[in-house]
């Protein structure tokens, strides 16, 4: 295949993307389902790149692929949102080569923007997975994606379920630490800002929790756009049965109706959640692999100059030998010069 050239997406590329691209692989499930239909357009505009970043790959002057990313500055990472490729002259092996160059380019841009990691949630096999592996993405967990449609949820008043307040983020973060294996925490590297509620890049984020004493023992975050919703659930060990109480109340209070679609990803270290979510009405949809790529941020070494501590330099003897002093230098065996 000819040389691949990578550059940022521009507005003039959008018509070509719609007509050329044959394959698109979402790589940030379930959050990708909340993407606005104009997310690609945002990435083509300078002011929209704080919410979306996208790059295209040219082969022989024609667009052969693209990659779209969701910056998450609060977590110091970019998530790979989707990869796309399309040309009658390209096959699966060529797609891997195109996506590999796109991912490498994006990693450099993300690192310069302050991101410490790239993340992706990908199918466990196929060209997209191969491209991610070839540029240094490492699988660190597997999860089951569940889907629910037509749920009938009623706002059953439960006095021990309350909506999250801004000050709860730290307590929810402690629940995350208790419920999540240490190795997964290192890969996720979430800050407490991950649990903030409110508006985020056009999405509505709400949280609901159950407390016992001064501790949060169960939590459900609901992220919404229109009639599509993604939930994230956590409980302390041995408390997963609380999901059958918490999740329906959270969905009802978030305004979910029978017309809405809800997704939830359940990692394999929380398989005890599955039975309770299926009891509510969720059904398994697919299996996904969580992946991460750590990045080294380019940096210039600062110029070091000696800092001389006043009074710390012994004066030269009056009759110093000629070899002990040169123009423009300070010579003393006991001088203390700190780098």
| pLDDT over 80 at 153, yes or no | no
Q: Give the contacts of 129 (CB within 8 A, at least 6 positions apart).
A: 122, 123, 289
- State residue 120's pLDDT score: 94
Q: Which of 55-69, 229-243, 292-306 is predicted with the least confidence, judged by mean pLDDT?
A: 292-306
- State residue 9's pLDDT score: 84
Please, what CATH class does the domain formed by 4-136 belong to? alpha beta
* pTM for the model: 0.79
Please, what CATH class does the domain formed by 146-285 belong to? alpha beta
| pLDDT over 60 at 321, yes or no | no
- State residue 292's pLDDT score: 96
Question: CA-CA distance, 66 to 192, in Å (whole number)?
Answer: 32
Least Cα distance to 289 among 155, 123, 146, 71 occurs for 123
Q: What residue ranges do the domains of the chain occupy?
A: 4-136, 146-285
114-137: pLDDT as tens digits? 999 999 999 888 889 999 999 999
- State residue 330's pLDDT score: 40
Question: Are 35 and 81 contacting, i.e. CB atoms less than 8 angstroms apart?
Answer: yes
* pLDDT-derived band at 165, boundaries 50, 70, 90: very high
Question: CA-CA distance, 288 to 122, in Å (whole number)?
Answer: 5
Q: Do domains 4-136 and 146-285 have the same CATH topology?
A: yes
């Amino acid at each position: 295949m000819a040389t691949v050239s990578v550059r940022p997406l521009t507005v003039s590329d959008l018509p070509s993307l719609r007509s050329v691209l044959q394959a698109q692989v979402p790589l940030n499930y379930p959050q990708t389902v909340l993407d606005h239909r104009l997310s690609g357009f945002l990435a083509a505009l300078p002011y929209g790149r704080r919410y979306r970043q996208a790059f295209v790959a040219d082969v022989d002057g024609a667009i052969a692929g693209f990659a779209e990313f969701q910056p998450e500055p609060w977590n110091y990472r970019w998530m790979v949102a989707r990869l796309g490729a399309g040309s009658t002259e390209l096959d699966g092996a060529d797609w891997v080569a195109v996506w590999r160059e796109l991912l490498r380019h994006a990693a450099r841009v993300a690192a310069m923007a302050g991101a410490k990691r790239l993340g992706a949630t990908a199918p466990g096999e196929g060209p997209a997975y191969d491209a991610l592996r070839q540029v240094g993405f490492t699988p660190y967990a597997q999860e089951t994606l569940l889907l629910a449609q037509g749920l009938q949820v009623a706002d059953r008043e439960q006095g021990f379920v309350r909506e999250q307040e801004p000050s709860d983020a730290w307590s929810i973060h402690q629940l995350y630490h208790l419920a999540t294996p240490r190795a997964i925490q290192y890969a996720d590297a979430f800050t407490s800002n991950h649990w903030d509620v409110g508006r985020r890049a056009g999405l509505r984020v709400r949280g609901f929790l159950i407390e016992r004493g001064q501790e949060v023992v169960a939590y459900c975050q609901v992220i919404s756009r229109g009639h599509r919703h993604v939930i994230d659930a956590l409980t302390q060990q041995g408390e997963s049965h609380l999901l059958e109480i918490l999740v329906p109340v959270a969905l009802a209070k978030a305004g979910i109706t029978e017309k809405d679609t809800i997704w939830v990803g359940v990692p394999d270290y929380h398989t005890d959640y599955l039975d309770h979510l299926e009891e509510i009405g969720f059904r398994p949809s697919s299996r996904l692999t969580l992946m991460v790529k750590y990045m080294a941020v380019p940096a210039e070494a600062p110029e070091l100059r000696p800092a001389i501590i006043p009074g710390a330099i012994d004066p030269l003897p009056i009759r110093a030998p000629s070899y002990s002093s040169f123009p423009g230098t300070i010579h003393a065996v006991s001088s203390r010069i700190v780098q």
